[in-house]
Amino acid sequence: SAGQGEMPEHVWNKIKDHPCYSEEAHHYFARMHVAVAPACNIQCNYCNRKYDCSNESRPGVTSERMTPEQAALKVVAVANKVPQLSVLGIAGPGDSMFDWRKTFETFRQVEKRLPDLKFCVSTNGLALPDHIDALADHNIDHVTVTINMVDPEIGTLIYPWIYHNGKRYTGLDASKILHERQMESLEALASKNILVKVNSVMIPGVNDQHLLEVNAAIKARGAFLHNVMPLISDAAHGTHFGLTGQRGPSAAELKDLQDKLAGGANLMRHCRQCRADAVGMLGEDLSQDFTMDKIDAEV
Ligand code: SF4
Ligand code: SF4
């Protein structure tokens, strides 16, 4: 888990009150997500579009889609009842930077009402380089980028296509562009002093050993945390990875990889994969107490 450990002071100061990073803070502060970003600009083989982006969620869980205005009402309703609320994250159900208009409009609506709330976004990084300045204009301490490869050949096993600058790319071209944009994102965020956490989905037989190289590459570009998440198998994923389906890693395989990575970018192990409309203290899910019908009934 992430205590200050060997973390530099300037990093620690930005995350010590953040429930997702600090073992201590997650007992005192709460975070919530609003599901304002339904569209995505890439296809991951492990994604089932019916559900939330696997960046921060489990298959089988569908978020309530909402407009930025509805999202702001919901955030205010939660803040009134959960005074520990310190962070608002936008993590899907698609990609927060592809759906950037909705993401930034949500920030504008929320910061009018709750100027002290911190924001974070989670993204695959493809569109991110175009929005670095806009992100820096808001109360953002950090960004999460999901990076599953730094070798486009491996990328072809994970990403059948991307949609970039109005064009669809497939095969090696798609993975090359995605890889370059992800590395560009890390460098640009570092230059703005925005902390970057990298999430990787561990896919046995596809990128499991390769994540050591990913760890070195992201560390070299300043990422402060590398969070390796297990692929969560779902019957629906089998159709993408092949007829027999793709299994997720065992607990022992996951731990073995995390141990190997421990000398690299600080690993965060207490992270829960939370859904795109999660509400509450980490490990707690109050989302069903704050559905739009209940909020509308109150305001
Ligand atoms: Fe699905 Fe997220 Fe991948 Fe987009 S980035 S395809 S929403 S898992
Ligand atoms: Fe932000 Fe990720 Fe925590 Fe959600 S889980 S609040 S996106 S750091």
Say if CB 45 and CB 159 are below 8 A apart: yes
CA–CA distance from 166 to each of 98, 163, 181 (Å)? 12, 7, 15
Ligand nearest to the CA of 182: 1
Q: Whose CA is nearest to atom 4 of ligand 1?
A: 40
Q: What is the per-residue pLDDT across 112-137, written as a single tens digit (0 to 9) for each?
A: 999 999 999 999 999 999 999 999 99
Q: What is the mean pLDDT of the chain?
A: 82
Closest CA to 103 of 78, 72, 126, 74: 72
CA–CA distance from 265 to each of 2, 9, 94, 173, 196 (Å)? 11, 16, 26, 28, 11
The single-letter code of the amino acid at 181 is: R
The single-letter code of the amino acid at 255 is: K
Note the pLDDT of residue 230.
85
The single-letter code of the amino acid at 197 is: K
What residues in the chain have per-residue pLDDT under 70?
Answer: 1-6, 19, 21-28, 48-64, 233-245, 263-288, 290, 292-293, 295-299
User: Which residues does ligand 1 sit against, CB inside 6 Å?
Assistant: 40, 42-44, 47, 53-55, 92, 94-95, 124
Closest CA to 106 of 51, 37, 195, 57: 37
With a 6 Å cutoff on the Cβ, whether 227 touches ligand 2 is: no
Q: What is the per-residue pLDDT across 6-30, written as a single tens digit (0 to 9) for each?
A: 677 877 777 777 767 666 666 667 7
Say if CB 48 and CB 246 are below 8 A apart: no
Note the pLDDT of residue 157.
93
Say if CB 90 and CB 34 are below 8 A apart: yes
Which ipTM value was assigned to this complex?
Answer: 0.88
* Tokens matching residue 142: 């950090």
Which of 53, 63, 128 should be mutated for ligand 1, with most atoms under 8 A from CB?
53
Which of 44, 49, 50, 90 should be mutated for ligand 1, with most atoms under 8 A from CB?
44
Q: What is the per-residue pLDDT across 220-243, written as a single tens digit (0 to 9) for each?
A: 999 988 888 888 766 554 444 543
For residue 24, give every residue at least 6 positions away whose Cβ sits within 8 Å of its Cβ, in sequence order, or none: 3, 16
With a 6 Å cutoff on the Cβ, whether 44 touches ligand 2 is: no
Note the pLDDT of residue 27.
67
Cα 42 to averaged position of ligand 1 atoms, centre (Å) = 6
Q: Whose CA is nearest to atom 6 of ligand 2?
A: 89
